[in-house]
């Protein structure tokens, strides 16, 4: 593209500028317009075709190139037209900026294209439609941001050199300024490095449910920035947490649990003590054969306490699922099966608090004659 405009401009220079220089400018701008229209006509059907293939690179490359290329076409067309006007009308001071503007524009074109391409690829790397093994969103986001930052720094240095700004002086000034900025913005830097540690250590990722016993933090991670992490609480409110907080608190990530635990205690009446071994065996058998209970994990049903009014048992087991709603359904099913084993299969009963009152025999006979029971039960 650059070579085409360059050859065209040198060929136009052969014409007499006194009479046709404005025609030359018109031709250059018309060619730029023609290239822009052709690019638009090719882009739309080509993108529709490439998007159907679900490949990682091809449509991302065309998409990233579309707008920057249109900018480059008009940049070259306008600057070469201004070069023609400069030769024809004389060396006005305004024409002195044409050549630097063209070089700056080319640098902007390259940076714009690379940034769009990096961001497009980052979107595809975490999408299952474009890769068989989607990458971790947090890692991809961190790498893409660092890549964009590197490109912006490189372009800034190129532009500084174009404006004759001594880079060595900027570096020396930046060393001293960094101390002042570091002292004035220590909290911002702490948040930046806290975000960097999150990207490196990956205690959580976007989409994880996290909570902290040290702080009132609990919810689903929506976004991890360089300064703040946005968490959506369970009542759907956004919670913005400075990244430096995560360096100083204990953090729990329930999203990475392998199983969910069922741990409960229930009691049987003392009068059902002879049935205890059979009830325990049936409950253990039910848990081992339950399709949603993970038999590879710790599992037991044990008599753990002689309480005041009951024989207390503890059930300890794990489900295969980690989904909270499904876990609640499985736990309910387990509890209902225990009730069925106790009441229907063994004709036993769950215990409740009771009180026994010992009454002398002569008083008891009188009370019985009046229809008063000798045993008081209190729920």
pLDDT tens, the chain, 379 aa long: 555 555 555 555 554 444 566 777 778 888 888 888 888 888 878 777 776 776 767 777 888 888 888 888 888 888 888 777 776 666 655 666 777 888 888 888 888 889 888 888 888 777 777 777 777 676 777 778 878 888 888 888 777 777 776 666 555 555 555 555 555 456 666 776 677 777 777 888 888 999 988 888 899 999 888 778 899 998 999 999 988 888 888 888 888 888 999 999 999 999 999 999 999 999 999 999 999 999 999 999 999 999 888 999 999 999 999 998 999 999 999 999 999 999 999 999 988 877 766 666 666 556 555 555 555 444 4
187-255: what fold? SH3 type barrels. (2.30.30)
Helix (H, G, I), strand (E, B) or coil at 242: strand
* Contact partners, residue 101, CB within 8 Å, separation at least 6: 79
- Report in angstroms the alpha-carbon separations of 17 from 20, 89, 224, 240: 6, 9, 60, 64
Residue 153 to residue 44: CA distance in whole angstroms: 33
Cα 335–Cα 235–Cα 246 angle in degrees, nearest 5? 100
The third-level CATH classification (topology) of the domain covering 257-345 is Alpha-Beta Plaits (3.30.70)
Closest of 68, 86, 67 to residue 28, by C-alpha:
86
For the chain, which residues make up each domain, given as ranges? 2-136+148-162, 187-255, 257-345
Q: Rounded CA gap, 16 and 81, in Å?
A: 15
């Amino acid at each position: 593209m650059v070579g085409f405009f360059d050859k065209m401009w040198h060929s136009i220079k052969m014409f007499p500028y006194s009479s046709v220089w404005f025609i030359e400018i018109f031709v250059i701008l018309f060619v730029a317009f023609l290239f822009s229209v052709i690019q638009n006509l090719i882009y739309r059907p080509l993108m529709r075709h490439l998007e159907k293939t679900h490949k990682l690179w091809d449509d991302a490359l065309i998409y990233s190139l579309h707008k920057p290329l249109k900018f480059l076409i008009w940049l070259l067309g306008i600057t070469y037209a201004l070069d023609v006007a400069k030769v024809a009308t004389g060396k006005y001071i305004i024409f002195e900026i044409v050549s630097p503007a063209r070089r700056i524009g080319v640098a902007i074109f390259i940076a714009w294209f690379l940034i769009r391409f990096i961001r497009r690829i980052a979107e595809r790397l975490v999408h299952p439609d474009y890769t068989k093994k989607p990458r971790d969103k947090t890692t991809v986001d961190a790498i893409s941001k660092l890549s964009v930052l590197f490109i912006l720094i490189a372009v800034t240095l190129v532009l500084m050199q174009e404006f004759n700004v001594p880079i060595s002086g900027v570096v020396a000034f930046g060393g001293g300024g960094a101390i002042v900025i570091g002292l004035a913005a220590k909290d911002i830097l702490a948040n930046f490095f806290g975000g960097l540690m999150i990207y490196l250590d990956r205690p959580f990722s976007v989409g994880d449910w996290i909570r902290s016993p040290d702080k009132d933090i609990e919810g689903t991670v929506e976004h991890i920035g360089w300064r703040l992490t946005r968490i959506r609480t369970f009542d759907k409110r956004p919670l913005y947490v400075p990244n430096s907080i995560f360096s100083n608190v204990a953090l729990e990530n329930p999203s990475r649990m392998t199983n969910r635990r069922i741990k409960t205690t229930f009691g049987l009446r003392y009068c059902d003590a002879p049935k205890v071994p059979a009830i325990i065996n049936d409950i253990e058998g039910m848990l081992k054969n339950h399709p949603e209970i993970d038999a590879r994990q710790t599992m037991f049903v044990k008599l753990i306490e002689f309480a005041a009014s009951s024989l207390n048992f503890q059930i300890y087991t794990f489900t295969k699922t980690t989904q909270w709603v499904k876990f609640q359904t499985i736990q309910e099913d387990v509890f209902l099966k225990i009730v069925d084993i106790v009441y229907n299969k063994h004709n036993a009963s769950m215990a409740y608090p009771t009180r026994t009152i010992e009454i002398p025999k002569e008083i008891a006979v009188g009370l019985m004659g009046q229809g008063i029971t000798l045993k008081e039960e209190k729920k």
